[in-house]
Amino acid sequence: MAFDGIAAAAVVKELNDRLLTGSISKVAQPEKDELLLTVKINRQQIRLMISVNASMPLVCLQEENALSPVTAPNFCMTLRKHIGGGRITRIFQPSSKIEMSDGAGPLPIHEGLERIIVFEIEHIDEMGDIGRKYLICELMGKHSNIILAKPDLTIIDSIKHISHMTSSVREVLPGRSYFIPDAAAKANPVDLVRDEAAFSALIGGFSGNAPETGGVSVYKQIYMSVTGLSPSVSGEILYRAGVDPDLPHGSLDPGQLHRIYQAFAEIMDAVRTDQYQPNIIYEGERLSEFSAIRLHSLEGGQMHTRAYDSMSEVIRIFYGGRDRQNRIRAKSEDIRHILKTLTERSARKLDLLEKQYADTDKRDRYRIWGELLNTYGYELQGGEDHLLCSNYYDEGREIRIPLDPLLSAQENAKKYFDRYQKLKRTREAVAVQIEESRQTLWHLDSISASLSLCESEADLNELRREMAEAGYIHGHVRDGQKNGRLPGSAKGSRKDEKKSRPLHFVSSDGIDIYVGRNNYQNEELDFRIADNNDWWFHAKNIPGSHVIAKTGNRELPDRTCLEAASLAAWYSKAGGAFGEDAGHGPKAEKAGKVEVDYVQKKELKRVPGAAPGYVIYHTNYSILVEPKEQV
């Protein structure tokens, strides 16, 4: 995912259509790295969001207002002074340098595909004269910045001050000259598209008349050599050209280079003519990528594309969803850390118990030795350190039994019987502890899996409550509640807490299908929502969600059975719903197909004292399906 030069170009086109000639009526700075400009045009107020957050740099139009601090930050006050009430006369993407408008006519809005958007603003200065300022938005990951500059590109101020202690390449401080850093000698695609020979030499790695062999892949060569092209666009160019992206760039033949150039020219022609197709690529229902052009290379399987009306809408949806995911992940770090610690500790305990259990395998040997001593001990004279006798438990083969010379035969026999009894008791006790440890690991793994499906604070609160009731944490603290009591205790009733709900789908046959997103929801589905004749689905021997098909008294249609089983496979550790970091315990291998058990709800039995959502069943059907997130 990247806010690349083509995405920036689509935003520039939209901003020119909506904001050009508008006046800046309000300047706000809701966050330390965000600006919200309100632009008046044609009796409308349009809000422009500019964020230079390192993880989410963006420029887009938005409808919602944002709360601003009571005291405006210094940069916000500087902008109000210099561009407040100013008129936007030009919005463009620069190439390696910013060209000044001389008033004779507008310059092209796409001089290059740098991830930079420049607003040229006319305003009335302190002397009453018309002045010009540049608001420069650099959207370059951790190097993102918003800079206000004079017409000669002297920096007035910036939202982030960069000194020589921070960067040896460029200082961004008041009074310094603004320039665009050298982008590792990358070529300007606007110029490159006009010269196929230059493009072929750059991408093919030609030196003189001989091609270089080996080197980086052609996929990497494209986005490393051309300004503004992201890895996704590089992959799309090669997909349209029918060229293997893993080929070394120096091994391409003229035919392959020509096809790559044609695909590149096709995309650049869409940029030149502003023929954008704003879209988001989803993996199931998860945000995967966004683009201003159609990325056919990322379609297929669980990946699908949704088109939108504007680039701003795409950016709001994509970054809004990512922002929610990041906030939930940040709020769940304490749970992840606890689960990792408990899982590692439980795994070590289980390993020690299994070794201890294996040590008890020799218990029967001591019993046999004791019985043989009682049988043949009369042959001993006393003081011997061993007894050779016939073992009637092993077809009469001779056996050597070690002895303590200081003890009689009966005392040696008693010692071996005592050892046998001790190991027998140990084995029984350890067997119980092993089962408890395995259930604990399974429970922890299921909570880890559920964590990946959390979408709100309510979801996290349910997991915290489950962990507290299981004794993994010392109570559950809600927002504003510092006494450490569980919800539902004397203070702070659980009724006041917002409750998360299971996922709901409708099958092709019109049957409601519910998917639990945590163990409490699994239990609610099994014993409250489901009727006896409804059908229950779960991935076989793999932690995951419980799935209920509400068939009532009807027969289970084949299509509904397949769709419900596919959902159960998807929302299991063998499917794709939980991501790569769901849980820290044993994981099922991601496979093309997953075995799913299904049974009528009336066959499910609770296990007394077990974790919520833990059930057993003895009669079931099984089906092998491909995991799918949607019915």
Quickly list H helices, 297-408. 311-331, 333-359, 363-376
Higher pLDDT, 205 or 140: 140
Q: Are residues 423 and 518 in the same domain?
A: no
pLDDT of residue 159 exceeding 60, the answer is: yes
Same domain, 442 and 386: yes
What angle in degrees, to the nearest 10, is found between the helix axes of 218-225 and 254-272? Answer: 40
* Amino acid occupying residue 20: L
Q: Is the pLDDT of residue 478 over 60?
A: no
- 209 and 247 Cβ atoms separated by less than 8 Å: no
DSSP string of 563-623, one letter each residue: HHHHHHHHTBTTSSTT-TTS-SS--PPP-S-EEEEEEEGGG-EE-TTPPTT-EE-SS-EEE
Residues 126 and 203 in one domain: no
User: What does the pLDDT average to over 232-250?
Assistant: 92
- Helix, strand and coil percent figures for the chain, each rounded to 5: 40, 20, 40
Which residues, in sequence order, are CB contacts of 150 under 8 Å at separation 6+?
133, 134, 156
Q: Which amino acid is at 627?
A: P
* Listed range (3-17, 133-147, 243-257, 318-332) with the worst mean pLDDT: 318-332
Q: Could you identify the residue written with the tokens 């992201």?
A: 230
> Do 577 and 613 share a domain, yes or no?
yes
Helix (H) or strand (E) holding 89: strand 87-92
- Do 286 and 352 lie in one domain? The reply is no
What strands lie across the sheet with 621-625, from one edge to the other? 503-506, 512-515, 547-549, 535-539, 594-600, 621-625
Same domain, 612 and 571: yes
**Confidence label for 184 from pLDDT (cuts 50, 70 and 90):** low
Tell me the two tokens of residue 71.
């005291």
pLDDT tens digits, one per residue of 78-129? 999 999 999 999 999 987 666 555 543 444 445 778 899 999 999 987 777 8
CA of residue 407 relative to chain centroid, distance: 68
Q: Specify the pLDDT at position 101.
A: 52
448-468 pLDDT tens trace? 888 877 877 778 888 888 888
Q: What is the DSSP letter of 106?
A: P
Same domain? For 514 and 600 the reply is: yes
Over residues 163-190, the mean pLDDT reads: 85
At 212, which CATH number? 1.10.8
Candidates 241, 438, 473, 266; CA nearest to 347 is 438
Mean pLDDT of the chain: 85
Tokens describing residue 454: 């959390």
Output the pLDDT for position 489: 36
- Cα distances from 194 to residues 97, 223, 227, 275, 304, in angstroms, run 20, 18, 15, 19, 33
Q: Which residue has the higher pLDDT, 488 or 495?
A: 495
In a domain, 475, yes or no: no
In a domain, 87, yes or no: yes
Q: How many other β-carbons are positioned within 10 Å of the β-carbon of residue 549?
A: 28
Last residue of a domain, one of 258, 293, 328: 328
**Quick one: average pLDDT of 506-532?**
92
Domain termination site, one of 408, 427, 446: 446
Average pLDDT over residues 529-552: 92
Indicate the pLDDT class of residue 204, thresholds 50, 70 and 90: confident
Q: Is residue 398 part of a domain?
A: yes
Confirm if 52 and 162 have CB atoms less than 8 A apart.
Answer: no
The share of the chain scoring above pLDDT 90, in percent, equals 54
Q: State whether 20 and 148 are in the same domain.
A: yes
482 is a domain residue: no
Pick the closest to residue 37 from 75, 92, 94 (CA basis).
75
Give how many domains the chain has, as a whole number.
Answer: 4
pLDDT at 75: 95
Q: Which residues are within 8 A (CB) of 473 and not within 5 positions of it... i.e. 6 or more apart?
A: 338, 464, 467
In angstroms, rounded to a whole number, what is the distance separating the alpha carbons of residues 283 and 297? 13
Domain finish residue from 446, 467, 494? 446
In a domain, 466, yes or no: no
Show the domain range for 415: 342-446
Mean pLDDT of 269-281: 92
Residue 624 main-chain phi, psi, to 5 deg? -105, 120
The pLDDT score that the predictor gives to residue 346 is 92
pLDDT in the model for residue 107? 44
Please spell the DSSP secondary structure of 470-532, one letter per residue: TTSSS--PPTT--S-PPTTSSSS-GGGS-----EEEE-TTS-EEEE-SSHHHHHHIIIII--T
Q: Which residues are CB-neighbours of 194 under 8 A, at least 6 positions away? A: none
Q: Tokens 């280079």 label which residue?
A: 257
Matching residue, tokens 């002895």: 403
The whole-number average pLDDT for the span 419-445 is: 92
Q: Residue holding tokens 């005392």?
A: 411
Residue 126's Cβ-count burial label (10 Å; 0-12, 13-18, 19+) is: exposed
The pLDDT value recorded for residue 2 is 66
Question: What are the two backbone dihedrals, phi and then psi, of residue 374, each rounded to the nearest 5 degrees?
Answer: -65, -30
Pairing of strands 116-124, 23-28: unpaired
User: Are both 385 and 248 inside the same structural domain?
Assistant: no
- The reply to whether 507 and 565 lie within a common domain is yes
CATH number of 14's domain: 2.30.310.10
The three-state secondary structure class of 251 is: helix
CA–CA separation, 305 and 279 (whole Å) = 7
Strands 615-616 and 56-62: unpaired
Per-residue model confidence (pLDDT) at position 584:
38
Task: Please give the pLDDT value at position 86.
Answer: 94
Given a cut of 50, whether residue 491 has pLDDT beyond it is no
Q: Residue 249 in contact with residue 202, Cβ under 8 Å? A: no
Task: For 282-335, write each residue's pLDDT tens digit.
Answer: 877 678 899 999 999 998 877 889 999 999 999 988 887 776 667 777 778 888
* Residue-level pLDDT at 582: 44
Instruction: Provide the pLDDT for residue 586.
Output: 36
In a domain, 371, yes or no: yes
Does a structural domain hold residue 172? Answer: no
Whether 31 and 49 have beta carbons less than 8 Å apart is answered as no
- CA 125/CA 499 separation, integer angstroms: 56
Query: Based on the domain organization, do 11 and 153 belong to the same domain?
Result: yes
Say which residue, 26 or 629, is predicted with more confidence.
26
Written as six digits, the tokens of 355 are 């070794």
Instruction: Indicate the pLDDT class of residue 199, thresholds 50, 70 and 90.
Output: very high
Task: Answer yes or no: is 208 within a domain.
Answer: yes
**Has residue 131 got a pLDDT over 70?**
yes
User: What's the average model confidence in pLDDT over 433-442?
Assistant: 90
Q: Hey, what amino acid is at 212?
A: E
* pLDDT for the residue numbered 165: 87
